[in-house]
Amino acid sequence: MHLISIRDFSKDKLLTWVEEINQYDQNLNSFFNCHPDKVIALAFFEPSTRTTLSFSAAAQRLGARVIGFNDASSSSTVKGETLEDTIQVCASFSNAIVMRHPQEGAAYQASKVSEVPIINGGDGGNEHPTQTLLDLYTISKHFDLEAMGNKHFLIAGDIARSRTINSLTYALAKLKANLTFVEVGNIKLKSAHRNELEALGAKIDIAQGYSPDLVKSADVVYCTRIQKERWPLDSDLQPPIFTQDLLEVLPKTSIVMSPLPRLDELPSSLDHDPRVIIFNQVKNGVPTRMMILEKVLEA
């Protein structure tokens, strides 16, 4: 079983998987050393901190061994080896492959040649489904996922080219959430993405920057850095910045999330506020990815 896209998940499957993540989170010790005979390959053609470390920690908690690389320059890619050949080599040594690649569609491409499960750890500006699962689990600790039709999400940052935003909003659309995308300058929601989200059942609004009235109505603020590596070098890109003044008008029951890494869009001076839960998100990566590994290894 491959894990390539959140598009492949139904609403019921999303809810079931989130509930299973909770079971892992509440009973981590019960799953130690379940798979001492397994090997997980981490094939990261782009840099990673949270995804690679949490998958490595998850695999080791399950008793599996971890091999791989966290930089394309340390693989035979630099010698001209094709993605297909690299993946088949990794598959020869492992029981599952977690991969990240700068090319959109690379995970799907890899799944066509791999004899072992492929888990998409991010493919260019396309998707990041395992991040979405940990984000949904994080949200579920604060709100009922079956009542997302009553919740308002502010989606800010690189709404044009962020794979984390893409995957998360696909999932939220299936849960019938209300989404407001914050546009700034040239950073605009793609019409094709909007159409797909609306077809899935999301209610979409567009805002020009943050405003106090907008923030007052938000249950979740989700902000990302600008993905400068996916834009032309001469692009003039300035993210919307979530300030202390905005935090002060955010409802007490609301939360602020980010997939990290962050730059200027979410100042670290706000981290003292319990509504800013970005490092709780990070911690939720291990039980999430333990559950995912268990799913693909047992499929």
User: Which of 2, 61, 100, 101 is an active site residue?
Assistant: 100
112, HSE (Cβ side, Cα atoms, 13 Å)? 7
**Beta pairing partners, 40:** 66, 96
Q: Which amino acid is at 13?
A: K
299 class by beta-carbon count within 10 Å (0-12 exposed, 13-18 middle, 19+ buried): exposed
User: Which of 79, 252, 253, 272 is an active site residue?
Assistant: 79
Within 10 angstroms of residue 96's Cβ, the number of other Cβ atoms is 29
d(CA 296, CA 299) in angstroms, rounded, equals: 5
Burial readout 5-28 (b: 16 or more C-beta within 10 A, e: otherwise): bbeebebeebbebbebbbebbeee
CA 33 to chain centre: 26
Structural tokens at position 268: 């670290």
Q: Which amino acid is at 252?
A: K
d(CA 262, CA 178) in angstroms, rounded, equals: 24
d(CA 295, CA 2) in angstroms, rounded, equals: 10
Could you confirm whether 128 is annotated as catalytic? Answer: yes
User: Which of 128, 174, 194, 225 is an active site residue?
Assistant: 128
User: Which of 11, 38, 50, 262 is an active site residue?
Assistant: 50
* φ, ψ for residue 69, nearest 5 deg: -145, 155
Structural tokens at position 101: 């690649």
Could you confirm whether 65 is annotated as catalytic? Answer: no
Of 243, 148, 156, nearest to 200 by C-alpha is: 148
> Are 239 and 227 contacting, i.e. CB atoms less than 8 angstroms apart?
no
Structural tokens at position 159: 């709404």
Could you confirm whether 51 is annotated as catalytic? Answer: yes
What is the chain's length? 299
Tell me which residues are annotated as active site: 50-51, 79, 100, 128
